[in-house]
Structure 1
Amino acid sequence: MVDITQVQGQTTTIKVERVIGHGTRQLLLEETKTVPAIKIVDIVATLTNMKTIVKNGKTIVQGTVHKQVYYIGTDDLEHHMAEDIAFSDLVEIIPIDPAYPVREGMNPQDLSTIENVVWEFDPATGTLIQKVIVALNIKVTETQQLLVALDPYGQWIKTQVVIGEATKQKFIEERKVVPAVKIVDVVARLTNMKAIVKTGKVIVQGTLHKQIYYVGTDNLVPYISHPCP
């Protein structure tokens, strides 16, 4: 193995998504309803509004199964009915390296699909039983910088090259009057982050969103939500 750090002038730093772990899970959604039909022609299901939240060792997957039911009605005409089923489930992520498990802040990649749609229909009563099998498939990655060797005769790849980086601390102080006898907790997070690249520097804009939990003078525990640009 070649030590690429010794190859002077022939290395570069690239930014890649390193796969940390992967997890799968089947989810069965079942629904029974009455349809004024004599025959079900087809049921088409798709996934919409998918959202994945990475937690320590697992992910929370939320979304909606959008269904389109095509049927022949009691009037002998073809009809269409659209309906949505919301769902939420946990998917355990198996790490590639057990010593480096998935944690909050990593990047989820949702590869979930509709695996199958089956139904049972009783034309005598109009009872339609629908079963949708959702194959939840989540890959978790982490953005990392890698030092790689350049080979003009090697295989060409397209990737992001790191030109430079910098860090800076920003101290934000605020004073306000709160009708409280005790502060329970202050939770802060960054939102609406935007970076504008200029010559030799970067302008960073965003909002620091704070939630202040406190015990009020009435002994209740409300909270204050306060954005700070």
Structure 2
Amino acid sequence: MRALPVRVDAVLVQALIAAALSFAHLHDLASAAGQHGWKAWAYPVSVDLLMVAAWRRLRSGEAKAAGWCWFLVALTASLGANVATAGLLDLDAVPAWLRILVAGWPAVAFLGGTLLAHGSPNPDQAPGPMPEPSSTAAVPEPIAPEVEPPSTAAELFANETESAPSSPSPVPPALAALARKVADEHRARTGTPIDTSTLRARLGIPMPLAESIAAQLT
């Protein structure tokens, strides 16, 4: 089995070196301020964890103001320790105000970590409740197709003869009713009964059929 080639990331190596130096500076400052043993090692861990939590909040895109606030607090603590241990501060005679800051740092780190980890960013609006389905679904009523009545008496005669070719009556009932309506209108308008020629012209039917209808109307 061939061994996989190992790639060294220069950026990662640089980050590890910087983190180790910052870690050591925070440890030295905490130890000089009176925090000895495991407590001196816990200080750099709390600073780095607070910075990571603030950076994650900034990356999430929610509550950026809180993220930037605690990120700057952790960055100030880290930079302050690096500068203080660079020879500008006598670690054998740490001033009282610095001892107070170092002693109060755990409470500040705990508050910031708790707010960042358990803060309540603006939640997305939950969708409203779905409407309950009705117990009885509405069934649309069937729409009957519209049937246009025949426009002429000839169509009436053709429909009647197609539907009942064996009818004994020589005049279809629908055609007889239409002819009676035409005759009544003619009598109401002229005062005289309608003649066969006028009835044939009004209905558009052959003359033999018009004569049969006229015989029924008399």
TM-score by length of 1: 0.16
Q: Could you say which structure has the greater relative contact order, defined with CA pairs below 8 angstroms and 6 or more residues apart?
A: 1
More helix by share: 2
More strand by share: 1
TM-score by length of 2: 0.17
